[in-house]
Structure 1
Amino acid sequence: MWGRIRKSGARFVNAMRTVEQTGREARTHNLFEAAAAYVSACAEDDQDRIEETAAWVSPEALSFGVNELACRAVIALARERDESPGAVARALLGLPAA
């Protein structure tokens, strides 16, 4: 059963890859690479890079990747601060403690 899930996940990730032509070589981007570049560009307010990275994968794949990045970042910060992920998420958004 886990083998099927793993294969299905691999097919999904491979389907989300796109190829970008850079000079004479082809460059493949996966959804996590696109999400990392997109979020970095948003943090730096670099509109040209935002538009470029948003085109690397489908909008649905980019949304999934950004969500996954956010989850991992909140978990990492929660571990670092020895707080709950909920408390860290609320603090990052400037919300009062629950």
Structure 2
Amino acid sequence: MFGRLRSIGRRTTSEGTEGRARETAGKERKRTYNLFEAAAVYVAACAEDDQERIDEAAAWVSPEALSFGVNELACRAVVALARERDESPQAVARALLGLPAASPAGP
């Protein structure tokens, strides 16, 4: 009796494994992308004016996730440049956008 159960178990396991192998053999596995990876590719493609890559990266994640990733990338880039230039993040952000320096806040 136990021998039968073992052979059934082995057969079921091997059939399951073979079934999964058949399912994935003919299909290309769809890669999942991290939202920050999508944001990095999207921003780089925008900088290079590569519409094909922009569209590709935009399809990897939801628009909300992409927006969050782009925002996070922008914040990190401004902070890194501010440290490198020994300036405030506000001054760097305004300079990158071609805006005049902000006037100091009065009392």
Question: Which residue matches 2:57?
Answer: 53
Aligned residues: 76
**More helix as a share of residues:** 2
Distance in 2 (alpha carbons) for counterparts of 1:61 and 1:94: 27
What are structure 2's unaligned runs of at least 5 residues? 1-26, 103-107
Q: Which residue of 1 aligns with 2:66?
A: 62
CA deviations 1:8-52 (Å, max 9, x no partner) are: xxxxxxxxxxxxxxx733322010000000000000000011001
Higher Cα radius of gyration: 2
Structure 1 segments unaligned to the other structure (5+ residues) = 1-22
> Is residue 30 of structure 1 aligned with residue 34 of structure 2?
yes
Show the counterpart of 1:76: 80
Residue 101 of structure 2 corresponds to: 97
Distance 2:101 2:36 in 1: 31
- Identity level (%): 84
Give distance in 1, aligned partners of 2:55 and 2:101: 35
Query: Structure 2 CA distance, aligned partners of 1:60 and 1:25?
Result: 25
Runs of 4+ in 1 over 6 A off after TM superposition: none
TM-score normalized with structure 1 length: 0.74
Supply the distance in 1 between the matched residues of 2:80 and 2:58 (Cα, whole angstroms): 25
